[in-house]
Amino acid sequence: MRTLIVDDTLDNRRLLWDILKPFGPCDMASNGIDALNLIEVAMDEGEPYDLVLLDIMMPKMDGQEALQRIRALEQQRGRVGPKEAVIFMVTANDSPREAAAAFFKGYCSDYLTKPILRRTLLDKLQEYQLITP
């Protein structure tokens, strides 16, 4: 499983990286612009991300805009349906408005609120068949 962790807080990126590194390569970005660049390069190299963990509140480009642009890029590249990345919005913002926007405007796969517990994240990965029990 190839993963991209996008969060503007280094400690949050490290925490998620520690949980996910046993399951495959993990890259990190601190904002939506850098995330989009990494996603595009990964697609160009034929090794797209299986999982993207995307914070909502970030500088330069927030997670909601990054999510919509990632999905648009996947559409352009024909990575739709089962080929698209699983994208979890990972945020301290548990606002119903933000969650609705993530699901209905950006088509995220799921929405997790911080603090992220290891067991919760691993259960989600199993639910999306990214890891086996």
Q: What are 105-126's pLDDT values in tens digits?
A: 778 899 898 899 999 999 999 9
Among 3.40.50.2300, 3.40.50.300, 3.40.190.80, 3.40.50.620, name the CATH number for the domain at 3-127.
3.40.50.2300
- Between 22 and 96, residue with greater pLDDT: 22
Sequence ranges of the domains in the chain: 3-127
- Between 99 and 48, residue with greater pLDDT: 48
Residue % of the chain over a pLDDT of 90: 72
19 vs 80: CA distance, rounded Å: 27
Residues 6+ apart with CB under 8 A from 25: 2, 3
The string over 50-87, giving b where at least 16 C-beta atoms fall within 10 Å of a residue's C-beta and e elsewhere, is bbbbbbbebeebbbbbbbbbbbeebeeeebeeeebbbb
pLDDT tens by residue, 20-51: 999 999 999 999 999 999 999 999 999 999 99
**What pTM was estimated for this model as a whole?**
0.92
Q: How does strand 51-54 pair with strand 3-6? A: parallel
- Between 80 and 94, residue with greater pLDDT: 80
Summary mean pLDDT of the chain: 92
Q: What pLDDT sits at residue 104? A: 67
92 — pLDDT class (breaks 50, 70, 90): confident
**Sign of the Cα pseudo-torsion (128, 130, 132, 133, in order):** negative
Residue % of the chain over a pLDDT of 70: 98
